[in-house]
A = this chain, B = another copy of it.
C-alpha cells in the first residue's frame, strides 16, 4: 500500500480538494500508471454530489475520474501486455468477474459483478475504488488499454468514456458508409458521435436547440444541422434515418426523433434523463422502429476504438485545465460551457 495524491470530495456539498489516498501495491497482474490526463465526465459531478443516491449512494471521500490516460510506471510479475514506459488508459471499469457469459464475450460492461473505476467496493483495500483525479492508479492489466502514440494525449483521455460510449452503439447498430445518422445533442458525447459517424462514412445530421452550434457541428464533421425546435425542418427528415444517437441527459421529446427513423431504424440513448421518457407506441409500431440504450463498451472494443482513433488521428476537442480549476469546471459543465470536454492536466497535482 502506498499514498497517492488526489482530489477528493468529503461530502455531497463539499468542493473537491487536495488529499491523500491509499493505493494498493501492484499485484502480479496489476499495472501501476502515472496519470497524465483525466477527462471530466458529467457522471463525475453526479456522483460527487450524490445525485444518483437512489441507485448507488456515494461513499466519501470520493475521488472521481474515469477517463484516465497515463504512463505505466511498474508492472506485476505476470503482466504480459504492458511494460514500464508504455502509454496506458483506464475507463469506467477496473474489474469484473471474468467468468460470466458477458465477460467471456468481451462485454465486461454488462457483467453483474463489474467494478467501476470509482465509488465501487474495492476488494483489495476495502472501502471504495478511487478514480483518476490522482497522480497514479493501479489496475489489473485486463482493464488497461493501449493508447496509439500519435494521439494528442489530453484529447485522447475522453475517449475512455465519451469516446467508447458513442463508438460502441454506432458499431453495434451498423453505422457504416452511406447510412444516414442523426446525433441529438452536441456536448461531450455528441461531439464524439459526430466525429465517429463522419469517420465511418455516414451522412451525419446534428440536431440541436442552439443555432450558434451550427458552424461547430459542420466543422466536427456534420453534413447537416437541424434545429430541433423547427417542426418544418424536422418534418423534412421524416422516415429517413437509419440510426439516431441520443446524447441528451435532460428531459426531451424522443417521439419527434422516432418519427424520423426509416423502417427498422434504431434510436439509441446514451444519455439518461432522470424522469421516464414518454414513448408513443405508434411511433415504434408503424416503422418497426426501436428505441434502445447502450452503456460504454467492453475492453476489446475499447481497444478497437482507440486503435481506430489512432488510424484516423481522432480525439476529443478539449479544454485543458489544472486540477485546481476542477470545481469551477463543474459549474461551467452545468451550464454546458465547454467545447467539448474538460481534461485535467494532472501535472498540476504535483504542486499540491
Footprint of B on A, CB under 8 Å?
Answer: 55, 102, 107, 110, 112, 169, 172, 239, 255, 263, 266, 269-273, 275-295
Contacts and interface: CB of A to CB of B under 8 A. Distances in A.
A169 B272 CA distance: 27
A286 B293 contact: yes
Contact of A281 (B102, B272, B285, B290): B272
Nearest to A285: B293
A298 to B, nearest CB: 11
A270 B263 CA distance: 16
Contacts of A287: 110
Contact of A290 (B110, B271, B292): B292
Contact of A293 (B55, B271, B284): B284
A109 B148 CA distance: 48
- Assembly stoichiometry (copies): 2
A291 B288 contact: no
A172 B292 contact: no
A276 B292 contact: no
Contacts of A276: 255, 278-281
A102 B263 contact: yes
A112 B239 CA distance: 10
Contacts of A293: 281-286, 288-289
15 contacts: A55-B282, A110-B263, A110-B288, A172-B288, A269-B285, A276-B281, A277-B280, A277-B281, A278-B278, A282-B293, A284-B292, A285-B295, A288-B294, A289-B293, A291-B291
Contact of A285 (B112, B239, B270, B284): B270
Contacts of A278: 275-279
Contacts of A291: 279, 284, 290-292
A172 to B, nearest CB: 7
B269 A281 contact: yes
A314 to B, nearest CB: 23
A276 B279 CA distance: 5
A291 B284 CA distance: 8
Of the listed residues A263, A270, A278, A292, the one surrounded by the most CB atoms of chain B closer than 10 A to its CB is A292
Of the listed residues A172, A277, A287, A293, the one surrounded by the most CB atoms of chain B closer than 10 A to its CB is A293
B269 A284 contact: yes
A285 B294 contact: yes
A288 B297 CA distance: 10
Given A110-B263, A272-B281, A276-B278, 12 more contacts: A110-B286, A110-B288, A272-B285, A276-B279, A276-B281, A277-B278, A277-B281, A285-B293, A285-B295, A288-B292, A289-B293, A290-B291
A161 to B, nearest CB: 14
A297 to B, nearest CB: 10
Contacts of A290: 266, 290-292
